[in-house]
Structure 1
Amino acid sequence: MSTLSPLAAAFRQTEYPVGGHGRRNLDVLKEVINELDGTVESDIYGTGEGIEAFQAEMAAYLGKEKAVFFPSGTMAQQIALRIWCDEAGIRKVAYHPLSHLEIHEEDGLRELHQIQSILLGEKDRLIRLDEILELQEDIACLLLELPQREIGGELPPFEELVAISAHCRAKGIKLHLDGARLYEVLPYYQKTAADICALFDSVYISFYKGIGGIAGAILAGEEAFTAKSKVWKRRHGGDLISLYPYYLTAGHYFKQRVHKMPQYYEQAVELAALYNSCHLVTTLPRVPVTNMFHVRVALPKDKLEPILIALYEETGVGLSHFLREINEHTCGFEVSIGDCYARIPKNELKRALERLDASLQEVNWPM
């Protein structure tokens, strides 16, 4: 018996899913492994020619001295903050109220490392420069997420990042980048990854979100920092006997997709405009600044679900497999543009959004 929700089941049957790179199944691994020489030696406990070459490649891409491959970003970021707290002798770090560390990690930073989080700013907007300048708490590290996923992928002006970096360095505060989607901000800023990372003392990037690998992350910084991170990686159980399924797929899809980020960004802007032309629909932000944005519909979840299911069955275009309740009158979902978008015939996509608009205009719901 399927455990999928009716919406997810209908989405799975669509010919044209709008977001992402496609189904996450064994083909993601097979596409890579089948092209490789089966006699190539695997890494062993984080060492070996393959993993070390990949780490060096990522360090160069990010403009940092060294980089270390981790099985997860959760592990990498907690370790980065632990190192900075130990060095400063201060058990406090600051970040946005909707940071991944705050809402998705079961209080790992506090329970495992006894580090207190200082929440800066409001949940529905970016941290502001003046809030950082006016912070009275002594903190070891400030974490910034680019883009800020939970509010639609918003980004601060690059000049503000420069000012924040200068302030932190003047105050002796380490600046850490949650760059899980770092690649996705480059088209908007018109900067290289190294340009942005130069403002930060440590950087984390992911390989399964915008890149579409199986799992894995890189933590990068100065050599002394990464040497300490390797010790903590061992303590956390992150030195698996072999990590090659992860870093090999990471490297493969990185090369395949990192140069497509401008295309994904342009397509996100195009799609958001189509959504904003629909009755009861708005996007956050209205004009995306990355290939990711949020869609909000002024209907309860139980009213929108049957509309989407009917739309999927009629058009074969899948908009989302999941709806999040925003409040009793509004629900929404996240869109992240990848390879799938370009496979959708433009006339089919236009027809699906026109059908959505028509269906929403027919809804009898108090506004």
Structure 2
Amino acid sequence: MYGNEGISDKKTLKSAFDRAVYQVGGHGKRNVEVLKRAFAAIDGQLDSDMYGNGHAMEAFEAKMAGVLGKASAVFFPSGTMAQQIALRIWCDRKGTKRVAYHPLCHLEIHEEDGLKELHGIEPILLADKDRLIGLKDVQRLPEDVSCLLLELPQREIGGQLPPFEELAAISAYCREKGIQLHLDGARLFEILPFYQKTAAEVCALFDSVYISFYKGIGGIAGAILAGEPEFTKESKVWKRRHGGDLISLYPYFLSADYYYEQRIGKMDLYYRQAQELSGLYNRCHHLKTVPDVPVSNMFHVHADIPKDRLEHILIEVYRETGVGLTPALKEKTDQACTFEVSIGDRYGEVPIDRLQLTFELLDHKLRGESF
């Protein structure tokens, strides 16, 4: 059932996934075709931006500011840069270099301590790593905290979300106490179907907002940082200091705009498909999803079996059905592992009967094993 049978390495999960005829999750390969498709209809005489300035760039920034309900927005080449700068600005304004965020925040576990080493900012880790930040956690913050960062959804624990009422209560408390509230909205658009809110309605609770264009949107790279004009004006200075003003950024923001228009209307579909797929996983022995019912287009699958054993089973399933479910597993303990699922355009390309067969076979193999 494999495509590309000429490939010789059939032993690893990644190689088995790559050869599957259908691959569940995401939008497809991140190759040059992503850029070619975005630029196919763009006038070749369109002037590029230069060092962050230019009509096309400014029009896109104004468009996204409107979508987010903010007065101003700035395009950044990366979210890592945008978020460190946002927190630095809020710290400088309050005169204290202390911020609060979740223990599994991107800034804490994926950025080589950039916030600490580049800006000298001290993070306060709120809540336990396996649960969301709640109002009671925020109410225990010391007075000298300049900013609280909330990630919606909280990716590292399966894309969980707090109730909207809890968000509103946290926002009100922060404003009462003079704590700036920043949104890590890398996957903001993906959570709107669950909240039944517009992006502007969610962002109204926050003083500054970051969004990404290469996750659910599926662009090449890039981010928007939005807020009040004085905030974004200051962020441009820091962007220059960080080396973020490349001579031209048009491959990033023009493709971001293209894929935004292509996929913003599909977020509800991805959300419903994630719920459908999680139901198939939850019917399998030894597997469960977190959350049990997804609140966005993503979720995690937890398996109470050894990583190497599940890899072997999945390779067999991919070979026999031609459907690849995940390219990698992450070991939790000697007897447990996990992986992330994120729904995009590819899910709809899998024939439903083939998908059902895949999960029937997976459950059969899991049921027949003793661990």
Aligned-pair CA distance for 1:2: 9.8
1:49 aligned partner: 55
Cα separation, 2, equivalents of 1:106 and 1:225: 26
Q: Check if 1:34 corresponds to 2:35.
A: no
Counterpart residue type for residue 38 of structure 1: G
Cα separation, 2, equivalents of 1:47 and 1:97: 37
Alpha-carbon spacing, 1:2–1:54, altered in 2? closer, same or farther (3 Å): farther
Aligned with 1:209: secondary structure? coil
Aligned-pair CA distance for 1:322: 0.8
TM-score by length of 2: 0.97
Which deviates further from its counterpart, 321-330 or 223-232?
321-330
Aligned-pair CA distance for 1:262: 0.5
1:257 aligned partner: 263
Alpha-carbon spacing, 1:242–1:356, altered in 2? closer, same or farther (3 Å): same
Q: Check if 1:25 corresponds to 2:58.
A: no
Aligned-pair CA distance for 1:298: 1.0
Aligned with 2:337: secondary structure? strand
User: How many pairs are equivalent?
Assistant: 365
2:4 aligned partner: none
Alpha-carbon spacing, 1:342–1:286, altered in 2? closer, same or farther (3 Å): same
2:181 aligned partner: 175
Cα separation, 2, equivalents of 1:17 and 1:336: 12
2:370 aligned partner: 364
Alpha-carbon spacing, 1:192–1:173, altered in 2? closer, same or farther (3 Å): same
Cα separation, 2, equivalents of 1:139 and 1:5: 51
The 5 Å alignment of 1:157-176 reads 157-176=163-182
Aligned-pair CA distance for 1:136: 2.8
Aligned with 1:81: secondary structure? helix
2:210 aligned partner: 204
Alpha-carbon spacing, 1:116–1:4, altered in 2? closer, same or farther (3 Å): farther
Whether the aligned pair in 1 keeps the contact of 2:24 and 2:347 (CA below 8 Å) is yes
1:147 aligned partner: 153
The 5 Å alignment of 1:212-361 reads 212-361=218-367
Aligned-pair CA distance for 1:35: 1.8
Aligned with 2:59: secondary structure? helix
1:199-250 per-position Cα deviation (integer Å, ceiling 9, x unaligned): 0000000000111000000000000000000000000000000101100110
Counterpart residue type for residue 173 of structure 2: H
Whether the aligned pair in 1 keeps the contact of 2:10 and 2:16 (CA below 8 Å) is no
Counterpart residue type for residue 225 of structure 1: F
Which deviates further from its counterpart, 58-67 or 356-365?
356-365
Cα separation, 2, equivalents of 1:96 and 1:12: 34
Q: CA RMSD in A?
A: 1.3
Cα separation, 2, equivalents of 1:4 and 1:86: 54
Alpha-carbon spacing, 1:358–1:139, altered in 2? closer, same or farther (3 Å): same
Aligned-pair CA distance for 1:33: 1.5
Cα separation, 1, equivalents of 2:9 and 2:275: 34
Counterpart residue type for residue 134 of structure 2: R
The 5 Å alignment of 1:2-151 reads 6-136=12-142, 138-151=144-157
Aligned-pair CA distance for 1:327: 1.4
Aligned-pair CA distance for 1:364: 2.5
The percent of aligned pairs where both chains have the same amino acid is: 65
Cα separation, 2, equivalents of 1:296 and 1:200: 32
Cα separation, 2, equivalents of 1:3 and 1:161: 48
Which deviates further from its counterpart, 35-44 or 173-182?
35-44
The unaligned stretches of length 5 or more in structure 2 are 1-6
Aligned-pair CA distance for 1:34: 2.1
TM-score by length of 1: 0.98
The unaligned stretches of length 5 or more in structure 1 are none
Cα separation, 2, equivalents of 1:276 and 1:43: 49
1:137-167 per-position Cα deviation (integer Å, ceiling 9, x unaligned): 5200000000000000100010011110110
Cα separation, 2, equivalents of 1:174 and 1:198: 13
Aligned-pair CA distance for 1:4: 11
Whether the aligned pair in 1 keeps the contact of 2:285 and 2:363 (CA below 8 Å) is yes
1:53-76 per-position Cα deviation (integer Å, ceiling 9, x unaligned): 000000000000000000000000
Cα separation, 1, equivalents of 2:48 and 2:285: 54
Cα separation, 1, equivalents of 2:10 and 2:25: 19
Alpha-carbon spacing, 1:140–1:3, altered in 2? closer, same or farther (3 Å): farther
Cα separation, 1, equivalents of 2:278 and 2:131: 19
Cα separation, 2, equivalents of 1:4 and 1:47: 49
Aligned-pair CA distance for 1:259: 1.0
1:35-93 per-position Cα deviation (integer Å, ceiling 9, x unaligned): 21112111100011111100000000000000000000000000000000000001000
